[in-house]
Amino acid sequence: MEEFVGGLWDKLITRTAYRGFPKARVELKDMEKIAPVFFRALGGDAGLNIRSGTATTHGGRRSWMERVAGIGEKTELAWTDDTTLHLPASIDLYPEQALNRELYLWLIALAAHDVAPDEAWIVRNQQAARATLEALPGMQGRYSRLVEAELARRIVPAKLPKDEADAEQAIRDALFNPGSVTEFTPGQRAPFPVPLWLHPEPPQAQGERRKAGHAEPQQPEGGKVTKDEEARKRSAENVDMPKPDSPFVLLFRAESLFSWAEYVKVNRSLDEDDNDDAAQAANDLDVLSVANDGKTTASRIRFDLDLPAEADDDHVLADGILLPEWDYRKRQLQPAHCRLQMLLARDAQACDLPVELRPTARHLRSQFQALVSQRARLRAQASGSDLDLDACVRFAAEKASGMPTAEPGLYIDSRKQQRDLSCLLLADLSLSTDAWINNDARVIDVIRDSMMLFGEALGATGDRFALYGFSSVRRENVRCHLLKGFDERYGSEVRGRLAAMKPGFYTRMGAAIRHSAAILSKQKSSRKLLLILTDGKPNDLDKYEGRYGIEDTRVAVQEARRMGLTPFCVTIDDKAGEYLPHLFGANGYVVVRDAQTLPKVLPGLYVQLTGEG
């Protein structure tokens, strides 16, 4: 009974003390479609993702009701780092939903015009605000409404001690007239947070970095990961493991029984149960302390992911192919940075098309055979079976205007066109493809079926095509699997190689694209299509994570375009919208929402990309 009454009291006091407006709340997920486009359209760094950050302790004054309820200590502000623009997970500061939405747009615009990131907090935000308003005069009205609403919720300077009142007045002046305040002296207490500005001290990793030789566990691809619904990024520090064998360490303290911050030893290799309170605990902590005891699941998986012995590995066709890699921090291409080897499946045996794929394959072959004999209508010809009305009208108008012009081609002719194109399909064979789709099939199985049907379809057209797969284990071991070369006929032997495909390691996509582009560029065709089939973003065990891998892949795609190729990505990653527009452009990729439809989608996509049908 006491617990029930206590719960009711907690809800009542918390609801009464809360200063926000839940009914007018706008969540970041409601802005996820417009936010990246808006940010990049305003000139923001195209390499940054947008996701929610974490609430941090602000140290400002709270009302006595907030203190009684134990709320209001933390606030969510916006900030940027090397890879991400962090925005509040939700905003309900103002009574009007439109204003809360306008605050999201203002913070995105402010981050895009952060012109002086090294200046002091108040100077930096004033310069960013002024740059935003100068570049986007149409936002002046929105900004004025936000400032008015923000000042209405702030503590009036007259109710503060002298030093805090002076600091609050400086903030108000800076909001009213960005650029007018050049010096800022905080009071004894930190000022009340300013949600219209970027974070004064963004959360960063704290503590000592891991010492050389101290292995850092990696999250393996395809491993079981509990989904963070808010996708927050939290501040963390590396610490040493506590040593309970010390006689001077107390293993139990009654007064800390209900503290989230106590160290708890959890054997994650055995305990895979979801903890409903884990997210709440993480949100309550300012800094997450992470220790490595050398016994983690990831450590064992790293051992399991070592390269196979030479006797058990695929045949090596070529070894030591050196490729460059782009370092976005140094802004330079590192020559001969990666080593690639060409492999051919050792245990592949010639086989027929699986029975379950044969009906679809027959349908695709009949469709693609029609492309071979289809006739094209050529306009502006000197002779033909029909008049080209557009050409006739233009010629008549030019002649009537007195412009001297030679008679152009005024006819339409119908001729059989020879298809002159080559396509290389590059498939991601990383360990993440070992994941299951609705407990029906693995991703690798869907990719295998897709490539088989793709080969059946293109075999009917006579188009030149090649099939390759790739995975990697650091930069010294980029593995490229030959499935079908341009000079090979698609048949039972190629099907055998496809049937022998298995999940590999990690995804060093830049090196794989560069090597594939070099192979495709040697073809004599006038059109060259490079199709990349993947289920996730670039990553590897070394520093090829996050933005480093994304920027290297982006440069590799640009290099392929300069070679006259057409790179296009097909992905089943539902988070692809966060990074693929930066890699391939708005029209350079497609997301297949249902992975099991990929075998039918891929051939149809090829028809669209090659401009036929």
Q: What pLDDT digit, counting tens, does each position of 83-100 carry?
A: 889 999 999 999 999 999
The answer to whether position 185 is within a domain reads: no
Check whether 23 has a pLDDT greater than 60: yes
Q: What angle do CA 147, 148, 154 make, to 5 degrees?
A: 85
User: For residue 322, is pLDDT > 90?
Assistant: yes
Q: Is residue 310 included in any domain, yes or no?
A: no
Residue type present at position 34: I
Torsion of CA 353, 355, 357, 363, to 10 degrees: 90
Asked whether residue 222 is domain-assigned, the answer is: no
Query: Dmax over Cα atoms in the chain, in whole Å?
Result: 105
> Would you say residue 327 lies in a domain?
yes
Both structure tokens of 355 = 């029975």
pLDDT at 109 over 50: yes
**What pLDDT does residue 226 have?**
44
DSSP 341: E
CB atoms within 10 A of CB 367: 16
The mean pLDDT value for 306-312 works out to: 63
199 falls within a domain? no
CATH number of the domain residue 576 falls in: 3.40.50.410
Asked if residue 182 is part of any domain, the answer here is: no
Of 529 and 10, the structure prediction assigns the larger pLDDT to 529
Q: Which of 112-116, 145-149, 542-546, 600-604 has the highest mean pLDDT?
A: 145-149
108 and 245 together in one domain: no
Query: What is the per-residue pLDDT for 25?
Result: 93
Nearest to 612 by CA among 370, 379, 424, 403: 370
Same-domain pairing of 523 and 466: yes
Which of 358, 385, 416 represents a domain boundary (last residue)?
A: 416
Q: Domain end: 277, 304, 331, which one?
A: 304
CB 388 within 8 A of CB 411: yes
Q: Are residues 563 and 521 in the same domain?
A: yes
Amino acid making up residue 202: P
Tens digits of per-residue pLDDT, 359-370?
Answer: 998 888 887 876
What residues contact 39, with CB distance under 8 A and at least 6 apart?
48, 50, 85, 108, 111, 112
Note whether 463 and 587 are same-domain residues: yes
pLDDT of amino acid 227: 46
Output 367 or 264, whichever has higher pLDDT. 367
Q: Does 229 score more than 80 pLDDT? A: no
Q: What is the mean pLDDT of residues 49-59?
A: 86
Q: What is the pLDDT of residues 57-74, one digit of tens each?
A: 888 888 878 787 778 888
Residue 26 has pLDDT above 60, yes or no: yes
**Pairwise pLDDT comparison (365 vs 304), residue with the higher score:** 365
- Rounded to 5°, the CA angle 483-484-490 comes to 125
Same domain, 358 and 484: yes
- Residue 2 — pLDDT band, cuts 50, 70, 90? low
Q: Could you tell me the end-to-end alpha-carbon distance of the chain, in angstroms, rounded to an integer?
A: 72
pLDDT at 486: 95
Average pLDDT taken over every residue of the chain: 81
The model carries a pTM of: 0.69
On whether residue 221 sits in a domain, the answer given is: no
Edge to edge, the sheet with strand 84-87 lists 49-52, 84-87, 79-80
In this structure, the answer to whether residues 382 and 505 fall within a common structural domain is no
Q: Which comes out higher in pLDDT, residue 239 or 10? A: 10
Give the end of a domain, one of 258, 278, 304: 304
- Our count of domains for the chain comes to 4
Tell whether 594 and 550 lie within a shared domain. Answer: yes
Task: Answer whether residue 168 is part of any domain.
Answer: yes
Residues 243 and 138 in one domain: no
40 and 172 together in one domain: yes
Report the residue count for the chain: 613
401 and 261 part of one domain: no
pLDDT at 59: 85
Q: Which two tokens stand for residue 554?
A: 């982006």
| Residue 355 sits in the same domain as residue 431 | yes
Domain that holds residue 122: 2-176
Same domain, 13 and 140: yes
